[in-house]
């Protein structure tokens, strides 16, 4: 069975909107550490790690052993009708790590469900279905979460259980306020938020939901302090703030354990998923106790926080915290940002290199220095693949390369990835100019 046969079968039976990377899509069949091998026997350094989810790379021993031990006991599922020790312990840790006062945690199996849960809590608490989201956001694939997704390419339906208005600010590079300096940019965004609340809502808004660094939106980073300034306005009006930490949590941004830490505020709720269990399915919401407890009906997630995922998550957190992987993300992120900014100096194709920690976006533009160049991003993916490196892409127009390697990446792997990226970007830049 070749990859081509498998691709034909994929196309026949999978949805057309389930996008695959590369001209010849890969089947990844085995892995160890930051490296993964495809069905043709080629091994790659992986700088996208299952979309930030294989947070400790492939087959970390600590996680494998914890999962094997749980499976060995014969219990992979009991439902939440019974006490789940690993789930309770994980909730206690996340509640403490969140910094949210009297925090409680509800586990789901995905980030989408986590955001659904947070939106259910906020809209019930505030008795309003009015929500502020950000332009260029991504929050999931269900009706409520696509409704708060401010990205045409990922919002497949206009049907919505929510009244959503989109604030400015997440994606500075293509914002109407892009020429302003940090302080002026924040002031303009805040003025716009006030105007938006006064003109486009009935006033009783439930919450703002935002990603501290927009993930699918191309690792777009607003100036530090934007969300603190937004929260001041929200607090004046009793509006809740939900930070979507699905991509930014667990120290990935290097500076802080949660992405929102860069803004010096504690949200009313945070949602998480992706890397927490190193690839096992888990998501959740951590919220102020009174907010979490506001539902007057029962609610349950059958698979959310199941014994296998929660022991895996406990093992992942042990490694992240005991080995200071947040510090590693800060250190290696700085290496990559510096190296890539050097490349940007000599390659006009690369207009902006941005990010925090091991969450780096490379915005590629046309000869005018501004028009998004999505075909160039696709070309770079082919070039890095040919040289043995997997990277991601995204952004509102599909023209942003995304780097999000495992948090336990080594210095040597960071250097190797940087070398491949440099050669690949230079090749595509040269091609375009010839």
Ligand X SMILES: Cc1ncc(COP(=O)(O)O)c(C=O)c1O
Which residues would be at the binding site for ligand X (CB under 6 A)? 110-112, 115, 138-140, 211, 215-216, 244, 246-247, 273, 283
Q: How many CB atoms lie within 10 A of CB 323?
A: 13
Strand partners, 284: 107, 272
- What gap in Å lies between CA 163 and CA 173, rounded to an integer? 27
User: Please, are residues 268 and 285 in contact by the beta-carbon 8 Å criterion?
Assistant: no
Nearer to ligand X by Cβ, of 211 and 416: the residue is 211
Chain centroid to CA 103: 22
- Shortest distance, position 341 Cβ to ligand X, whole Å: 25
Nearer to ligand X by Cβ, of 94 and 425: the residue is 94
Nearer to ligand X by Cβ, of 215 and 304: the residue is 215
Nearer to ligand X by Cβ, of 51 and 180: the residue is 51
3-class DSSP assignment, residue 33: strand
- What gap in Å lies between CA 381 and CA 225, rounded to an integer? 34
Nearer to ligand X by Cβ, of 70 and 271: the residue is 271
Instruction: Mention every residue, 6+ apart, whose C-beta is less than 8 A from residue 403.
Output: 47, 48, 336, 355, 358, 359, 360, 361, 362, 391, 392, 417, 421
CA torsion angle 96 102 104 110 (round to 10): -60
User: Please, are residues 273 and 281 in contact by the beta-carbon 8 Å criterion?
Assistant: no
Nearer to ligand X by Cβ, of 217 and 254: the residue is 217
- Shortest distance, position 15 Cβ to ligand X, whole Å: 15
Instruction: With residue 132 as reference, give the H or E element that holds it.
Output: strand 130-134
Instruction: Mention every residue, 6+ apart, whose C-beta is less than 8 A from residue 194.
Output: 233
- Shortest distance, position 149 Cβ to ligand X, whole Å: 9
User: Please, are residues 205 and 167 in contact by the beta-carbon 8 Å criterion?
Assistant: no
Nearer to ligand X by Cβ, of 133 and 376: the residue is 133
Nearer to ligand X by Cβ, of 110 and 201: the residue is 110
- What gap in Å lies between CA 204 and CA 238, rounded to an integer? 9
- Shortest distance, position 226 Cβ to ligand X, whole Å: 17
- Shortest distance, position 356 Cβ to ligand X, whole Å: 14
User: Please, are residues 222 and 232 in contact by the beta-carbon 8 Å criterion?
Assistant: no
DSSP string, 140-197: -SSHHHHHT-B-GGG------SSEEEEES-S--TTSTTTTS-HHHHHHHHHHHHHHHH
Nearer to ligand X by Cβ, of 167 and 273: the residue is 273
CA torsion angle 418 419 423 424 (round to 10): -40
3-class DSSP assignment, residue 102: coil
Instruction: With residue 107 as reference, give the H or E element that holds it.
Output: strand 103-108
Instruction: With residue 244 as reference, give the H or E element that holds it.
Output: strand 240-244
């Amino acid at each position: 069975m070749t990859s081509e046969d498998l691709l034909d079968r994929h196309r026949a039976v999978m949805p057309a909107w389930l996008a695959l990377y590369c001209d010849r899509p890969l089947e990844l069949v085995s892995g160890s550490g930051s490296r993964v091998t495809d069905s043709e026997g080629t091994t790659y350094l992986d700088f996208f790690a299952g979309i930030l989810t294989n947070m400790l790379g492939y087959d970390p021993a600590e996680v494998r052993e914890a999962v094997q031990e749980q499976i060995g006991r014969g219990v992979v599922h009991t439902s939440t009708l019974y006490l789940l020790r690993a789930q309770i312990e994980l909730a206690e840790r996340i509640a403490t790590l969140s910094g949210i006062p009297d925090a409680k945690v509800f586990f789901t199996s995905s980030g989408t469900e986590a955001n659904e849960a947070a939106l259910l809590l906020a809209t019930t608490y505030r008795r309003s279905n009015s929500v502020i989201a950000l332009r260029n956001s991504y929050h999931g694939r269900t009706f409520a979460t696509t409704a708060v997704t401010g990205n045409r390419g990922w919002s497949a339906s206009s049907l919505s259980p929510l009244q959503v208005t989109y604030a400015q600010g997440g994606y500075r590079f293509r914002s109407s306020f892009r020429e302003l300096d940090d302080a002026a940019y924040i002031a303009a965004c805040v003025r716009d938020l006030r105007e938006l609340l006064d003109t486009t809502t009935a006033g009783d808004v439930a919450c703002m939901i935002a990603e501290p660094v927009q993930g699918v939106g191309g690792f777009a980073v607003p100036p530090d302090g934007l969300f603190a300034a937004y929260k001041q306005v929200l607090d004046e009006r009793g509006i809740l703030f939900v930070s979507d930490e699905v991509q930014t949590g667990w120290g990935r941004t290097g500076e802080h354990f949660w992405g929102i830490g860069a803004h010096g505020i504690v949200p009313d709720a945070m949602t998480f998923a992706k890397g927490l269990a190193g690839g096992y399915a888990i998501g959740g919401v951590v919220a102020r106790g009174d907010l979490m407890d506001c539902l007057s009906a029962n609610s349950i997630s059958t698979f959310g926080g199941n014994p296998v995922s929660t022991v895996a998550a406990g093992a992942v957190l042990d490694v992240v915290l005991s080995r200071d992987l947040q510090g590693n993300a800060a250190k290696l992120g700085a290496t990559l940002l510096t190296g890539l900014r050097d490349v940007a100096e000599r390659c006009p194709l690369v207009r902006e290199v941005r990010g925090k920690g091991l969450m780096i976006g490379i915005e590629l533009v046309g000869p005018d220095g501004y028009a998004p160049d999505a075909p160039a991003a696709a070309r770079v993916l082919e070039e890095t693949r040919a040289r043995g490196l997997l990277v991601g892409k995204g952004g509102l127009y599909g023209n942003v390369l995304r780097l999000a390697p495992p948090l336990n990446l080594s210095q040597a792997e960071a250097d190797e990835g940087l070398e491949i990226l440099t050669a690949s970007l230079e090749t595509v830049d040269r091609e375009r100019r010839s």
